[in-house]
Amino acid sequence: MKTRSGGGQERRPGGETHQTARSVDQTLTTNQGVAISDNQNSLRSGERGPTLLEDFVLREKITHFDHERIPERIVHARGSGAHGYFQPLKNLSNLTKAAFLQDPKKKTRVFVRFSTVAGGAGSVDTPRDVRGFAVKFYTEEGNFDLVGNNIPIFFIQDAMKFPDLVHSVKMEPDRAFPQAASAHDTFWDFVSLMPESMHMLMWAMSDRTIPRSLRHIEGFGVHTFRLVNAQGESTFVKFHWRPTLGAFSTLWDEAVKIAGADPDYQRRDLWEAIDSGNFPEWTLSIQAFDQKTADELDFDILDPTKLIPEEVVPLTPIGRMVLDQNPVNFFAETEQVAFHPGHIVPGIDFTPDPLLQGRLHSYLDTQLSRLGGPNFHEIPINKPVCPMRNFQRDGHMRMAVPPGRVNYEPNSLAPDSPRENPSRGFASFPDPNAGPKTRERPESFADHYSQARQFWRSMTPPEQAHIVNAFTFELSKVVTPAIRKRMLGHLDVIEPELGQRVATAMGMAGEAEKISPAVSPRDDLDPSPELSLIAKAPKTIQGRTVAALVTDGSDASAVKKLRDALKKEGAQLKLVAPKVGTLQGGLVPDMQLDGAPSVLFDAVVALPSEAGAKELTGVAAAIDWLRDAFGHLKAIGFNGATQPLLAKACIEADPSMGIVAIDGKGGIEAFIGTAKRHKIWERDKLVRPQR
């Protein structure tokens, strides 16, 4: 279902309507509404003379253009957004009085922005990086922003360290590189001096930071929040988003090649999925627990570098989010949307997590410079859908025109003007935590290694191998040997096997600096299988793209059979050919081979004609197409004609390694069954050194 075209008015968040129909009079005007007679030529003194200062049309147009860019976000600059809705699964009044969580029939509109953290707005989509997962709920009681990431913990425990963390990971300030990459000295220098980062580093070096797409990421609120019901009772919660399609990742080599083949890979994927009616969906779950459970946990619930394993406090699904509409204007919506963890509604409240507390200042402050002043809440994408009234006035770019002489409260001159409302208004939970004024880390935040070790032990062998490879890659890019050695020392503490494998892979065995942790890592935390993506991956190809390599003379009926079978599974087929024009035999390719390497697809099938296959044996892009799919552990289907090409790519037609002949009986089903495995892990040892 297309949602962006057609006449009439579409409902937009912020109570705005979006006019999609063209007005009858299409005369071009200035911003003041003056009709423009010539939009091609500036006003000049004589045909070949100088341009006149008087040309208000030119000056207005150029001046506006000069100011088209606003400062990009200092972090999370590159983002992709979408509209959608949220619907609770049940009435949650036992936990919270938040109005949007009471009625399972009620849909609340949302706007979501996914992002990478370190790169600039024009950087690529697939660096190794944390993904932001920010959701704005336009509730009837005001906007609620759940500003999370795709990783349940964070690098640091205290907001005081955030500028240092971000400075260290962004481009180095003298040389302005590397862009969108943590693989450089300053980042590893900083984190290797911050033991509290160790747990997050394990996640950052795992496959979580190279996701297959934005539709395939989990999301987390990270901090512990509170839900508060009408009786004033509070429950602690951690928020979790789980994609219905399952969470999947790419391989590092694949992510690197995608960056070159399609820098907008994830933005395009999200856009195309929504545009074609394949609306991405997530379940919102909570881990809900009381003070007694909090006291019994191994770690402090206020420490954002720790998680609560699902095996200890299970997830309770509470709602579902569907993204069903692309933005109609990237700047107006995705760029100007302003998230803030402090945008909260009655029934939800903060905890004194020292990272969250710092964020409550930062996000409001950053919008002042990013969006130019204190009135960013009037920008349509940021506007609440419920009535908004107060005595705040004026400032840059004020849109509202509040009439009357009364702009203060209390007043007796305007009895109908807004008043506070103790029964409905937001009341902070009376958190009893207080103490002497101090700058100190609590003792309960001191264990920095136990959950890092638990994470390592919860991974499957391929995931462990990827973590080893990621540390090896990143640290090999660090030029200063002392930093490498310091990090190797931390890895030894996390788990000696990890430290040794990375050191050996770098040719630095025995060179680790000795790190003596303040609190030694515990050995008794059970692995948490829910932390592994591979262990819980659903067997599905729903929402995936399979590519078929076709040539002149390819069998159109074989292509149709494959397409129909994939469609039944909710997957789509794209045709890739040496040339994009219509092929002999009538097939119409979607993409030309040069611009469609196999990294862009989830699984591939070679369906050339015999003559076509022979010709492709002399084309590097075709050989790489199969070799890369092989190296990236993707299911490969082939017809009989492909044999010479497989031979040229040194690929043995071994079904146990996911190389499936599809022209025989049951061939297509066998191929789809293989593709549902996402990656053929058995093949990994054939193509990657097992460090």
Q: Out of 43, 58, 74, 89, which residue is the one contacting ligand HDE (CB under 6 A)? A: 74
Decide if residue 78 touches ligand HDE (CB under 6 A): no
Three-state DSSP state, 43: coil
Q: How far apart (Å, rounded) are the C-alpha atoms in residues 442 and 519?
A: 13
Q: Out of 101, 147, 345, 606, which residue is the one contacting ligand HDE (CB under 6 A)? A: 147
Active site residue 223: no
Q: Out of 212, 240, 306, 359, which residue is the one contacting ligand HDE (CB under 6 A)? A: 359
Region near ligand HDE per CB under 6 A, out of 352-360, 486-494, 564-572, 629-637: 352-360
Q: Out of 57, 75, 302, 550, which residue is the one contacting ligand HDE (CB under 6 A)? A: 75
Decide if residue 159 touches ligand HDE (CB under 6 A): yes
How do beta strands 348-349 and 225-228 pair? antiparallel
Catalytic residue among 39, 41, 67, 76: 76
Q: Out of 84, 88, 148, 543, which residue is the one contacting ligand HDE (CB under 6 A)? A: 148
Binding string, 93-132, against ligand HDE, x = CB under 6 A?
--------------------x-x----------------x
Nearer to ligand HDE, 195 or 631 (CB): 195
Decide if residue 194 touches ligand HDE (CB under 6 A): no
* Max CA separation in the chain (angstroms): 90
3-state secondary structure 89-144: CCCCCCCCCCHHHCCCCCCEEEEEEEEECCCCCCCCCCCCCCEEEEEEEEECCEEE
Name the residue with tokens 């492909």. Answer: 642
Q: How far apart (Å, rounded) are the C-alpha atoms in residues 525 and 452?
A: 11
* Residue 23 beta carbon to ligand HDE: minimum distance, rounded to whole angstroms: 33
Q: List Cβ neighbours of 168 (8 Å cut-off, separation of 6 or more).
A: 186, 187, 189, 190, 191
Q: Out of 271, 363, 429, 681, which residue is the one contacting ligand HDE (CB under 6 A)? A: 363
Name the residue with tokens 């400062």. Answer: 71
Region near ligand HDE per CB under 6 A, out of 33-41, 355-363, 424-432, 500-508: 355-363
Decide if residue 355 touches ligand HDE (CB under 6 A): yes
Q: How far apart (Å, rounded) are the C-alpha atoms in residues 127 and 376?
A: 31
Binding footprint of ligand HDE, residue count (CB under 6 A)? 23
Name the nearest CA neighbour of 511 among 490, 495, 488.
Answer: 488
Q: Angle, nearest 10°, between helix axes 450-458 and 481-494? A: 80
Nearer to ligand HDE, 111 or 630 (CB): 111
Decide if residue 490 touches ligand HDE (CB under 6 A): no
Footprint on residues 240-259 left by ligand HDE (CB under 6 A): none
Tell me: cis bond preceding 346? Omega within 30 of 0 counts. no
What DSSP string runs through 308-337?
Answer: --TTTS--EEEEEEEEEE--S-HIIIIIT-
Region near ligand HDE per CB under 6 A, out of 318-326, 360-368, 501-509, 649-657: 360-368
Decide if residue 362 touches ligand HDE (CB under 6 A): yes
Decide if residue 366 touches ligand HDE (CB under 6 A): yes
For residue 642, give both structure tokens: 């492909």
Q: How far apart (Å, rounded) are the C-alpha atoms in residues 585 and 556?
A: 7
Q: How far apart (Å, rounded) are the C-alpha atoms in residues 372 and 395?
A: 10
Nearer to ligand HDE, 383 or 485 (CB): 383
Decide if residue 598 touches ligand HDE (CB under 6 A): no
Decide if residue 226 touches ligand HDE (CB under 6 A): no
Q: How far apart (Å, rounded) are the C-alpha atoms in residues 552 and 263?
A: 30
Decide if residue 545 touches ligand HDE (CB under 6 A): no
Name the nearest CA neighbour of 324 among 380, 271, 379.
Answer: 271
* Residue 48 beta carbon to ligand HDE: minimum distance, rounded to whole angstroms: 49
Decide if residue 358 touches ligand HDE (CB under 6 A): yes
**Computed from CA positions of residues 471, 477, 478, 484, in that sequence, does the dihedral angle turn out positive or negative?**
positive
The string over 541-553, giving b where at least 16 C-beta atoms fall within 10 Å of a residue's C-beta and e elsewhere, is bebbbbbbbbbbb
Nearer to ligand HDE, 113 or 544 (CB): 113
CB atoms within 10 A of CB 56: 13
Give the angle 354-358-363 at the CA atoms, nearest 5°: 145
Active site residue 149: yes
Catalytic residue among 83, 143, 149, 377: 149
Region near ligand HDE per CB under 6 A, out of 143-151, 171-179, 399-407, 460-468: 143-151
Q: How far apart (Å, rounded) are the C-alpha atoms in residues 516 and 267?
A: 44
**Computed from CA positions of residues 170, 172, 177, 182, in that sequence, does the dihedral angle turn out positive or negative?**
negative
Q: Out of 80, 116, 143, 149, which residue is the one contacting ligand HDE (CB under 6 A)? A: 149
Nearer to ligand HDE, 150 or 213 (CB): 150
* Residue 659 beta carbon to ligand HDE: minimum distance, rounded to whole angstroms: 40
**Computed from CA positions of residues 338, 340, 342, 348, in that sequence, does the dihedral angle turn out positive or negative?**
positive
Region near ligand HDE per CB under 6 A, out of 14-22, 50-58, 351-359, 675-683: 351-359
On whether the CB atoms of residues 609 and 545 are closer than 8 A, the answer is no
Decide if residue 301 touches ligand HDE (CB under 6 A): no
* Residue 31 beta carbon to ligand HDE: minimum distance, rounded to whole angstroms: 27
CB closest to ligand HDE, residue no = 132
* Residue 372 beta carbon to ligand HDE: minimum distance, rounded to whole angstroms: 13
Q: How far apart (Å, rounded) are the C-alpha atoms in residues 145 and 135?
A: 6
For residue 438, give both structure tokens: 């101090």
Classify residue 211 by its DSSP letter.
B
Nearer to ligand HDE, 154 or 455 (CB): 154
**What residues make contact with ligand HDE under the rule CB under 6 A?**
73-76, 79, 113, 115, 132, 134, 147-149, 154, 159, 162, 222, 339, 355, 358-359, 362-363, 366
| Active site residue ranges | 76, 149
